[in-house]
Amino acid sequence: MVTSAELLAAAAFADGSHPQAFPSFGSERSGAPVVAYCRIDDEPIRSHEPIAEPDIVVVQDPTLLHQVAVFDGLRPGGTVLVNTGKTAAELGIAELPGLPRVVTVPASQIAREHIGRPMPGPALLGAFAAVTGAIALPALEAALRERFPGDLGDANAAAARAAHDREVARAAPA
């Protein structure tokens, strides 16, 4: 999750935006819930406080949905992206307070297809690009190729593109 926020920042940076990414912190320990933050702005960002009122929440691990207050502070009309093969209704998040837009993305599955491992980050970011427009897909692909070496970089970029294109197709008028 930390890497996803960094990647988002990297993509935004490649796009010419001013980003800031940072994790919430604890001792290094795998398996525990982790939150990471990313700000994207046209101007340099001065504040470093944790994001209390996000515009967008990306949930990489859906088992957290009913365990952690994932949507606290989400702005009315904000957007939620969840890594899942289920629907929002099946997850019980179809009608959240403030009625954010909920987008379900089978990111782990897309990752398995393109990368061979259920690492949903790049696919989620691809969907993020399509849904929010906050970053452009080419910038995201470039950031993924720069961050991950050789074939892995290409595979991650492919996963991102696949998720992105899937969202574009879903949003297209029938």
Partner 1 sequence: MLRLLEGSMAVAETVGRCRPDVIAAYPISPQTHIVEALSRAVRAGELGDCELLNVESEFAAMSACIGAAAVGARPYTATASQGLLYMSEALFNAAGLGLPIVMTVANRAIGAPINIWNDHSDALSQRDSGWIQLFAESNQEAADLHVQAYRLAETLSLPVMVCMDGFVLTHAHEPVELPDPDAVDAFLPRVAPAQVLDPDAPQTIGAMVGPEAFTEVRYLMHHKQMAALDAIPHIAGEFAAAFGRDSGGLVRGHRLEGAETVVVAMGSVIGAIEEVVDELRDGGVPVGALALRCFRPTPTAELREALAPARRVVVVEKAMSPGTGGIVGADVRRALDGCDTRVHDVIAGLGGRPITKASLRTLLARAREDRLGSLSFLDLDRDLVAAELARAGTPTAPGGHAAQALAAAGLWEEDA
Q: Residue numbers of the site for partner 1 (CB under 8 A)?
A: 5-6, 9-10, 13, 18-23, 25-27, 44-50, 52
Rounded Cα–Cα distance for residues 41 and 59 (Å)? 22
> Between residues 50 and 118, which has the closer beta carbon with respect to partner 1?
50
Q: How far apart, in whole angstroms, are the C-alpha atoms of residue 160 and residue 174?
A: 23
Distance in Å, CB of 48 to partner 1, minimum? 4
Nearer to partner 1, 41 or 95 (CB): 41
Shortest distance in whole angstroms from residue 47 CB to partner 1: 4
Residue 104: which residues within 8 A CB-CB, separation 6 or more?
A: 81, 82, 84, 85, 86, 87, 88, 91
Which residues neighbour 73 within 8 Å (Cβ) at sequence distance 6 or greater? 51, 52, 53, 54
Please check whether residue 54 is in contact with residue 76, taking contact to mean a CB–CB distance below 8 angstroms.
no
Nearer to partner 1, 41 or 90 (CB): 41
Query: In whole angstroms, how close is the CB of 31 to partner 1 at the nearest point?
Result: 19
Q: Which is nearer to partner 1, 56 or 110 (CB)?
A: 56
Tokens of 17: 């935006």
The Cα-based distances of 167 to 48, 89, 116, 127, 133 in angstroms read 32, 18, 21, 6, 12
Q: How far apart are CB 134 and partner 1 at their closest, in Å?
A: 16
* Of residues 62, 58, 67, the one with CA closest to residue 36: 58
By C-beta, is 18 or 101 nearer to partner 1? 18
Kindly state the smallest distance separating residue 62's Cβ from partner 1, in Å: 26
